[in-house]
Amino acid sequence: MSSQHDETPARPKRFEDTQLPAIPDVGLLDADVASVELSQHRTKLSTHRTGLSEHRTDLSEYRTDLSTNRTEMSMRRTGMSFQRTRLSAERTLMSVIRTALSLIGFGFTIFQVFSRGRESGVLNISTAAPSNFGMALVMLGVLLLIVGIVYHINFMRTLRAQRNAMVQHGLVHGESGYPISYTLLTACALLLIGLYAIVTMVFDVARG
């Protein structure tokens, strides 16, 4: 952006209001002399009005510069609000990752403990309900992760499209780009791990 938007305009100096010219007393003067005196008085009044008009013009230009700067700052704040919204979506996806990780980890642990316990004879349990419960937790975690990833991608695509549209209309600045979402990459990696855990459990059940 040009430097005129980065510098605060200087406020015009305070107008030093001069006294209005005194009205000449032309009652006892000759008509021609009185006409000259009144003409000079009108000239002084006109000069006074011109000074006021020039000062009003300076103030108007100053207000215009301030309005331009406020518009510039508003555009930048709007651009930063898009970044804050993007970071908020990242934090939401992080919460989904934490919940899904807890479900997958806890469910896989339950499945392995009860499955290995039954196989070794340490746990004398005839039903496979605890193992099924563990598998259900893992599946729930994977499902939650899939929903979170799909929602995040759709939300970010909508946000990016809205931002690009506002940039094209000159409503916001588009200098700052959208970096790669490492949170989304982490979520995808955890999804693969969850799917691998489900496949492992399914094969253990089939083998058992």
119-170 per-position pLDDT tens digit: 776 767 666 778 888 899 999 999 999 999 999 999 999 988 887 887 777 7
Say how far apart CA 11 and CA 66 lie, in whole Å. 10
- Name the helix (H) or strand (E) containing 104: helix 31-120
Say how far apart CA 73 and CA 52 lie, in whole Å. 31
Q: What is the mean pLDDT of the chain?
A: 76
Q: Which amino acid is at 109?
A: T
Report whether pLDDT(175) > 50.
yes
